[in-house]
Amino acid sequence: MERTLVLIKPDAIANNHIGDIIKHYEGKGFKIAAMKLMKMTKEIAAKHYAEHIGKPFYNDLVEFMTADPLVAMVLTGENVIARVREVNGATNPEKAAEGTIRKLYADSVTKNAVHASDSPENAKREISIFFSEIEIVG
């Protein structure tokens, strides 16, 4: 079983899509191993987005992600990392395939509803930023 981190971003929460998005993942057969509603701090953002520090969009990204609550989840399943990214759709909702989460719920490239880990290494790193092992049940 593989694990991935998913963040339901502040824009999706503001638009009341938490349940819709969770239902979408569960409908694809993914299991929720951990979940919490939280507010990202600037310190957590710096760890999570470490590779983007110094880039022109970094400050706006941190401002967006720390302004309002988000939902952090660990999803499990076979090949879950690639499959969740496919279910999420392209970062730009205009280019996302029909029926994907971003096509259904994202507003823009920046306000794109969800984040998911892109590799096993990043999944492990990102999960450890948001959850301790005792918080993960699967």
pLDDT of residue 99: 97
Summarize pLDDT for 25-49 with one digit per residue, the tens: 999 999 999 999 999 999 999 999 9
Sheet hosting strand 70-77, strand order edge to edge: 31-38, 70-77, 2-8, 114-116
In the predicted model, is pLDDT for residue 138 greater than 90? no
Domain count of the chain? 1
pLDDT of residue 47: 97
Q: Which of 17, 24, 48, 115 is catalytic?
A: 115
Alpha-carbon gap, residue 129 to 113, rounded angstroms:
20
Alpha-carbon gap, residue 25 to 7, rounded angstroms:
12
pLDDT of residue 14: 97
Summarize pLDDT for 91-108 with one digit per residue, the tens: 999 999 999 999 999 999
Query: What is the average pLDDT across 65-81?
Result: 98
State which residues form the domain around 121.
Answer: 2-38+70-135
High-pLDDT (> 90) share of the chain, %: 99
In a domain, 27, yes or no: yes
In a domain, 50, yes or no: no
Which CATH number fits the domain that encloses residue 7? 3.30.70.141
User: Is 115 one of the annotated active-site residues of the chain?
Assistant: yes
In a domain, 61, yes or no: no
As to burial, measured by CB atoms within 10 angstroms (0-12 exposed, 13-18 middle, 19+ buried), residue 53 is exposed
Query: What is the average pLDDT across 9-30?
Result: 98
**Rounded to 5 degrees, what are φ and ψ at 62?**
-65, -40
Of 53, 57, 73, nearest in space to 9 by CA = 73
* Mean pLDDT score of the chain: 97
pLDDT of residue 133: 96
Alpha-carbon gap, residue 136 to 131, rounded angstroms:
7
pLDDT of residue 26: 98
CA 93 to chain centre: 15
In a domain, 45, yes or no: no
Tell the residue number behind the tokens 């990202």, with chain if given. Answer: 40
